[in-house]
A = this chain, B = another copy of it.
Amino acid sequence: MYEDIVKEVYNIVYPRRKLFTAGPVACFPEVLEIMKVQMFSHRAEEYKIIHRDTIKRLKSFLEAEKGIVLLFPSSGSGIMEASIRNAVSPGGKVLVTIIGAFGERYAEVVRENGRKAIELSFELGKAVDPDVLDKALRENPDVEAVAITYNETSTGVINPLPELAKIVKDHGKLLFVDAVSAMGGADIKFDEWDIDVVFGSSQKAFGVPPGLAIGAFSERVFELAEKTPEKGWYFNLPLYRKFNEEKDGTPSTPPMPQIFGLNVVLRMIERMGGKEKWLNMYQERAKMVRDGVRDIGLKLLAEPGHESPTITAVFAPEGVKGLDVYNAMRDRGFELAKGYGKIKEKTFRIGHMGYITREDIKEMLENLREVIKELTKK
């Protein structure tokens, strides 16, 4: 065995810092342990058991008993593409709400797939205003769907999804939810909120390595998909559904280690007392980070009442760049996240997803206090 080659690569990639990243996030040790299991055929019974069990646990976690839950060998953005290509007619209109970089991506995906994006943008740091959404839908009665970023990773803002969902449904539109940095960290009630498409990724609040996307879809999406031409093969939702139902699998080979990892986390959530307790953990972490940051005298980007449970965007102090804070924290052994998109310069971000303890957060905040003191002295 070439032990030295493993060491060579390990020495390059092994993270030397405590991780407060925007994703991929630090994974739970239990997950990393299962990642190294030997592979075998994805059509063998052993795989099917875990596939079925993972879908069952996800249905419960997402409260999607009426929904069709599917796994994809892609990143979350793959399902963003799937939502447009399967459920929106060619040339059809989608109202894309934009509160940051990932709303912009949704609009780009709409356009790149030959549909029209009606953009409804809000100031960075703000959530979607329900009244403004309602007005936009009255003014654009011909849109087929509304896209909402549940949790905007670039600004640390969480949208009031239940309220927005109600407005979308009152107008009889399809509801597409990008929950990449929300799923696993913020509640999703698929059936109750009448969602049509919601998707997340393994490498965010579930604390699993990247490579796997998770989607839940309404029956309506499949009815529309049957009529939509040129859906393509790779993100053909009826095909995924067929393979899920008939073979407990995916049309092409799935990222098995990540699926095993997700299964482990879903079992851990159950053991820890279920979804509510798990989501409370996320709320507590987020509050701890926000309180600590404010105590240092820093300002949050997110408007009050819409702060994300999974990531906090912070303004660097006057005269200091976000990147300087990021770099100084890196030197001290903490990997935060850089600012993202248009506010890259002025902000830095603190992710609080995955394998993070209260002690890690305390230690990070103590170091952040010192870093800010040093940087503002200069």
Binds B, one of A186-194, A224-232, A275-283: A224-232
Q: Which residues of B contact A229 (CB under 8 A)?
A: 114
Give 6 A-B contacts (CB < 8 Å), ordered by A residue: A1-B30, A9-B260, A13-B49, A15-B39, A73-B78, A73-B211
A205 → chain B, closest Cβ, in Å? 13
Binds B, one of A58-66, A163-171, A263-271, A293-301: A263-271
Beta-carbon contact of B41 and A337 below 8 Å: yes
With an 8 Å Cβ cutoff, the count of chain A residues facing the other chain is 87
Beta-carbon contact of A37 and B50 below 8 Å: no
Known: A13-B46, A233-B77. A2 touches B26 (CB 8 A): no
Most chain B CB within a 10 A radius of its CB, from A32, A209, A251: A209
Beta-carbon contact of A39 and B10 below 8 Å: no
A344 → chain B, closest Cβ, in Å? 12
Give the residue name and chain of the B residue nearest to A38 (CB).
Answer: B15
Q: Which residues of B contact A29 (CB under 8 A)?
A: 1
A71 → chain B, closest Cβ, in Å? 11
Beta-carbon contact of B50 and A12 below 8 Å: yes
Q: How many copies of this kind of chain does the complex include?
A: 2
Known: A81-B234, A210-B253. A9 touches B40 (CB 8 A): no
Q: Which of B13, B78, B233 is the one whose CB lies under 8 Å from A108?
A: B233
Q: Which residues of B contact A3 (CB under 8 A)?
A: 30
Q: Which of B22, B39, B337 is the one whose CB lies under 8 Å from A209?
A: B39
In the complex, whether A76 has a CB less than 8 A from a CB of chain B is yes
In the complex, whether A201 has a CB less than 8 A from a CB of chain B is yes
Known: A2-B271, A255-B211, A257-B211. A38 touches B32 (CB 8 A): yes
Q: Which residues of B contact A247 (CB under 8 A)?
A: none
Beta-carbon contact of A21 and B9 below 8 Å: no
Beta-carbon contact of B335 and A5 below 8 Å: no
A356 → chain B, closest Cβ, in Å? 12
* Contact pattern, A 73-84, Cβ under 8 Å of B = 1, otherwise 0: 111111011000
Whole-angstrom CA separation of A200 from B270 in the bound complex: 38
Known: A73-B75, A210-B255. A49 touches B271 (CB 8 A): no
* Contact pattern, A 336-376, Cβ under 8 Å of B = 1, otherwise 0: 01100000000000000010000000000000000000000
In the complex, whether A217 has a CB less than 8 A from a CB of chain B is no
In the complex, whether A47 has a CB less than 8 A from a CB of chain B is yes
Task: Please name the 5 residue pairs, one residue from A and one from B, whose CB atoms are nearest each other, closest first.
Answer: A211-B255, A75-B252, A24-B39, A114-B230, A36-B36
A24-B253, A25-B39, A109-B234 are known; give 9 further A-B pairs, CB within 8 A: A13-B256, A23-B41, A35-B35, A41-B335, A75-B252, A75-B253, A75-B254, A80-B234, A211-B255
